[in-house]
Amino acid sequence: MSDYAQAVTEFYKKNLSNTSLDKSTLVGDCPFCPEKGMDGGSKLAVIVNPESFFLGFFRCLNRCVPGGFPLWYSSLAKLDPELTPGFDPDREYALRQTDYPVQSINQEIKSFQDNLTDTIIEHFGQSTIKKQVLSGLSIGYNGRYIVYPYFQEDGNCYTARCVNPDRAEDFFWHGDTGMKSEQFQIFNVQEIQRCENGALVLCEGEENLLTLKQMGLPGIAVPDSQLFEAIETNRFDFIRTLFIVVANNAESELRARALASRIGYKVRLLNWSAGLPRNYNLWQMARDKGSDFPASV
């Protein structure tokens, strides 16, 4: 076991109570659930397999807070960052000068969440996605379209992509016109910060990301791989491994490879098996595989 892997394991053991080791997963009481008014007996799981790309990734099994890696845990738990594995006092973060709108659509997003119908929940359920995942990403419904909120790095939502559940090509953007440009079209963008010093998955299509979130993996998404060209690569400076997952077609694969070339060695591309239909994706795979989906990824 490397020094870093050992330090990560000891860090979580020190800061979690009632821990036990289940194969390569450390399980302890979630310290955040009581703060959220949830059952204090719920558990938090940490990947401690030294060979895993996701070494150090924690998640509450009750999904009370977004998961992440040690530095994010320290931030949530208000611990001294200098005592956290991977902390670098000399690290310089790229600052984005963004003039966010005065008004957000946060309240609208909450109302859309309340509008989720049994039919829409079942729509996601066919690809193994449960309501907890939808709630965690604030996904809603406006009566005709699924609403994917694009929260920004300041924690507010100014735009949402509204997609017809039966025809993905039928969509529109709701919200502030100035926030609809390509640079703001990263779904779940706050996950990047939470995954500092760890691994992250970049998906083409929000619905494909949801299948991985159901598995408990961290990730972000863009609506279409055409947006890869607009992604600022310095966003991933402090990500150790970036997985890119696109639909099974030549165009998306070329765009993924172009982005990988810009980012460099830390990128790993998911390759689809030969013989699968054009545009096959994680959403369809989850629908086809059901409970066997996690083992198939």
CATH number, residue 282: 3.40.1360.10
What does the chain come to in residues?
297
* Sequence-ordered list of residues with C-beta below 8 angstroms from that of 119, at least 6 positions apart, any chain: none
- Position 297 scores a pLDDT of 87
Residue ending a domain, among 83, 118, 144, is 83
198 shares a domain with 147: no
92 in a structural domain:
no
What's the whole-number mean pLDDT along residues 204-233? Answer: 98
* CA distance linking residue 270 with residue 204, whole number of Å: 12
Q: What is the pTM of this model?
A: 0.96
140 shares a domain with 199: no
180 shares a domain with 160: yes
49 shares a domain with 9: yes
H-run or E-run covering 256:
helix 250-263
Going from the C-alpha of 85 to that of each of 4, 92, 249, the distances in angstroms are: 7, 17, 40
* CA distance linking residue 120 with residue 4, whole number of Å: 43
50-91 confidence digits (pLDDT tens): 999 999 999 999 999 999 999 999 999 999 999 999 999 999
87-123 confidence digits (pLDDT tens): 999 998 877 778 999 999 999 999 999 999 999 999 9
Total structural domains in the chain? 3
90 in a structural domain:
no
pLDDT band for position 228 (cuts 50, 70, 90):
very high
78 shares a domain with 158: no
- Position 119 scores a pLDDT of 97
CB-count burial class (<10 Å; 0-12, 13-18, 19+) for 29: middle
pLDDT band for position 206 (cuts 50, 70, 90):
very high
285 in a structural domain:
yes
64 shares a domain with 27: yes
Q: Where are the alpha helices (DSSP H) in 29-188?
A: 70-77, 106-114, 118-125, 131-136
Q: With contact defined as beta carbons under 8 Å apart, do 24 and 52 qualify?
A: yes
Residue ending a domain, among 146, 166, 184, is 184
Query: Where do the DSSP E strands lie in the chain?
Result: 20-22, 25-29, 43-47, 58-60, 140-141, 146-151, 157-163, 171-175, 199-204, 219-222, 241-245, 267-269
pLDDT band for position 38 (cuts 50, 70, 90):
confident
pLDDT band for position 24 (cuts 50, 70, 90):
very high
135-193 confidence digits (pLDDT tens): 999 999 999 999 999 999 999 999 999 999 999 999 999 999 999 999 999 999 999 99
180 shares a domain with 205: no
88 in a structural domain:
no
275 shares a domain with 240: yes
104 in a structural domain:
no
Residue 29 is part of a domain; what is its CATH number?
A: 3.90.580
Place of tokens 């595989």: 289
Provide Rg for the chain, Cα atoms.
Answer: 19
Q: Which of 37-46, 58-67, 198-207, 214-223 has the lowest mean pLDDT?
A: 37-46
Residue type, 203: C
Residue ending a domain, among 130, 150, 184, is 184
Euclidean distance between the first and the last CA atom of the chain, given in angstroms as a whole number = 26
Domain that holds residue 52: 3-83
98 in a structural domain:
no
99 in a structural domain:
no
